[in-house]
């Protein structure tokens, strides 16, 4: 129900954004008041994909509330890339991290890592970080750190979900 309502809202928003852009465009009413499309318009195009660092300046570590971060940082769109940056295992870092993807809401809720797929190991978050592209449209992705048998996922709050919305459009005047 919420999804259906959301879909209708998205359509209304898109329609009003497009109308707003057209009316704001100089030259729209140049032809004696008759509405003509602006001459040099290329039509609307998709906003290019973004790279988003998971956790922002916090990066990927134990104890930060990633679920709240995801709610504040969305919406996310198909082909956006999430970047996970985390310390490598070393003498000074006895609590390394990783990135797992759960196949379902229930495995995510239980931090059931046996059902999850490791997409980045403890070393992959070094340097510029591990990049995960949200390549499927309208997919719910469930992420977590897989370390310490689910302890980082549950107590450490290192888990969040995102939905990959269709890419937004931008009007070129």
Ligand X SMILES: *[C@@H]1O[C@H](CO)[C@@H](O)[C@H](O)[C@H]1NC(C)=O
| Residues engaged in binding Cu ion (CB under 5 A) | 97, 145, 147, 152, 158
List the single partner that 159 binds among ligand X, Cu ion, none, CB under 5 to 8 Å by kind.
none
Beta carbons within 8 Å of 45's beta carbon, 6+ residues apart: 169, 170, 172
> Total residues contacting ligand X (rule CB under 6 A)?
11
Give the contact letters, 9-28, x = binds to ligand X (CB under 6 A), - = no.
Answer: --------------------
The answer to the question of residue 78 lying near ligand X (CB under 6 A) is yes
Beta carbons within 8 Å of 76's beta carbon, 6+ residues apart: 52, 82, 134, 162, 163, 164, 165
* Cα–Cα dist 65/165, whole Å: 23
Among 29, 104, 123, 136, binds ligand X (CB under 6 A): 123
Give the contact letters, 32-61, x = binds to ligand X (CB under 6 A), - = no.
Answer: ------------------------------
Alpha-carbon radius of gyration of the chain = 21
Nearest distance, CB of residue 124 and ligand X, angstroms: 5
End-to-end alpha carbon distance in the chain: 36
Three-class DSSP category at 66: helix
CA–centroid distance for 120 within its chain? 17
List the single partner that 29 binds among ligand X, Cu ion, none, CB under 5 to 8 Å by kind.
none
Nearest distance, CB of residue 147 and ligand X, angstroms: 12
């Amino acid at each position: 129900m919420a999804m259906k309502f959301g879909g209708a809202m998205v359509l209304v928003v898109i329609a009003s954004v497009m109308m707003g852009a057209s009316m704001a465009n100089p030259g729209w009413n140049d032809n004696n008041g008759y509405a003509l499309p602006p001459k040099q318009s290329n039509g609307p195009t998709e906003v290019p994909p973004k790279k988003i660092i998971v956790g922002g300046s916090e990066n990927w570590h134990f104890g930060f509330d990633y679920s709240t971060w995801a709610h504040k940082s969305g919406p996310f769109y198909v082909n956006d890339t999430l970047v996970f940056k985390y310390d490598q295992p070393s003498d000074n870092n006895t609590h390394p991290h990783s990135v797992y993807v759960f196949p379902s809401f229930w495995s995510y809720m239980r931090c059931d890592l046996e059902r999850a797929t490791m997409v980045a190991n403890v070393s992959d978050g070094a340097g510029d970080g591990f990049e995960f592209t949200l390549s499927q449209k309208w997919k719910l992705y469930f992420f977590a750190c897989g370390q310490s048998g689910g302890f980082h996922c549950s107590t450490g709050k290192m888990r969040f979900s995102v939905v990959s919305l269709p890419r937004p459009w931008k009007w070129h005047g």
